[in-house]
Amino acid sequence: MSVQVYGCNHVAIEVDDVEKAVAFYQDVFNLQKLDEGEGDAFFKLGEHQFLAIFEVGEMKPDRVRHFGIMVRNEKQLAEVREKITKKYGLKLNPGFRCDFHDPFGNRIQVVDLHDESLVWLLPYQEVQKAGIRFSD
């Protein structure tokens, strides 16, 4: 039997204050909260994925570990850059259009649909409704 991977189910990050993290991710990315408990929260992240946020007692900074979030277009990418730099005072990492560390030290890269291939986008309902198909 050969393993067939269908994609990524979820990303889990650590924060030192889950309430502040919930407010940050809802504000910056307008994420829909799926569930929340004592010391954790879960958000819908695309069609088939979710973001899990867990509160920990001690944060340990990452060097290269990160996750990527895809937004619709350059306008939305600019909105994210504006909000994280102006409202939250976060710095963009040079060399990328939108790469930063959230207030808890988690590194995030934000791209728009233009950065991705059509193969990656096929599972998304918006692309399916547009009628994009590959021929054999």
What are the pLDDT digits (tens) for 27-65?
999 999 998 788 899 999 887 889 999 999 988 877 778
Averaged pLDDT, 92-121: 81
Instruction: Supply the pTM of this predicted model.
Output: 0.74
Report, in angstroms and rounded to the nearest whole number, the Rg of the chain calculated over CA atoms. 16
Annotation: CATH topology of 10-56+66-129 = 2,3-Dihydroxybiphenyl 1,2-Dioxygenase; domain 1 (3.10.180)
Nearest Cα to Cα of residue 59 among 121, 105, 27: 105
Nearest Cα to Cα of residue 82 among 122, 41, 64, 71: 71
> Where do the structural domains in the chain lie, given as residue ranges?
10-56+66-129
Residue pair 52/35 in contact by the 8 Å Cβ criterion = no
- The DSSP output letter for 17 is -
